[in-house]
Structure 1
Amino acid sequence: SIIEVHLTFVPTDTAHISATINQGEIYEFGGNTYSQAGEYTHRTMSSMGCDSITILTLEVVTGVDNSFIIPMVVAPNPIRGGEVTYLVKDWTDEEKTGMTVEVLNSVGQRLMMFKPNSYPISIDGIHTAGVYHIRVISGTGDVYIGKLIVK
C-alpha cells in the first residue's frame, strides 16, 4: 500500500523590537524583567502549533559624563493624537550640534529618535493615547527630559 502525505511548511514569524531604559530601571518582556543591555528572545506557540519569535534588543543608558537631567517645556501639553507639540528652549549653537531627540513610551520603549533640523523642535506622529517621555541629549552632553500626555 502507498501512503501519501502532504506537508505544509509554515515559517516561524519573527519580530524585532528595540527598547531603551535608564540604568537602574527594569524592562518587562515575555513575562520576565530585564535590567541589563542585550538581546533577549521570547517564543510563543499558538493553539494550532504555529510559533512566533520576538527578539528584543535592550539598550541601557548610563548617562553622559558631567551631565545632569534638566526639565524641559513641552507645549502644548496635553495634545490629542496626531497633533503637534514643541520642545521650547533657547538652544545654543553648541547644544544644537549633534543633538538627539528620543520619544519613549511609558515602559521605556523608544518609539522615535531623530536629529532636529529646525527650532523650536516639533514632535508629531503620535496617535495613541498615553504618557510619553521625551529625552533630548544636547551636543554639550546635557540631558533634558519632558513628559507629553496624548489624549
Structure 2
Amino acid sequence: MATFSSVTRQHILQAIAEHDSRGGDAFLALYNFEPVPGYALLHEGRSYDARAVLGVAHRFATGRMATQDDFHGMDAAVALLRRRGFEVSEPASAVRAAPAAARPARTSAPRTPRTTTPRTSTRAAAREERPVAICPTCFQALPATGVCDNCS
C-alpha cells in the first residue's frame, strides 16, 4: 500500500515532464496504467491522467512505483494533488452537493470583509515546499549527502 505524503509538487512536475516527453499513451503503457475517465490533472492548459501522474510522482519521491491497485478510489489522490497546488477536474457524478435541507438557513445579513491587512505567519513560510535534489541519472530523490545511493 502506497502512502503519498512524501510526494511533493516537484515530483508531480517531474512526472508531468516525463508524460510530455513520452506522450500520453506511451506514458500510460510504460507504467501499466489505464486511463481514469473524468479525473484529469490540468496544468498549463494541458490535461493529464491524474492517477498515472501521481503514481509516477510517487516513484520519483520514494523509488517505488505506485500501481493502480494502490489507489482506493480517487478522493485521496485528488485531495493531495489539490494540496500541492494543482487543478483536478472530476466527473459530474463525483461532485457532491449538500442537499438543501442539510444546509443551514442564512438568518442574518452577509458579513462585510475586514479592511485590515492579513498578517504573515511563520507557519505559512514553514509549509512552503522546498525543491528536492534529484539524481540526473536515475531521477530519484538524493539523500542529504547529495550523492545518489543507486548511482554513486
TM-score bin, normalised by smaller chain: under 0.3
Q: Which structure shows the higher helix fraction?
A: 2
Q: Which structure shows the higher strand fraction?
A: 1
TM-score, normalization: structure 2? 0.23
Larger Rg: 1
TM-score, normalization: structure 1? 0.23
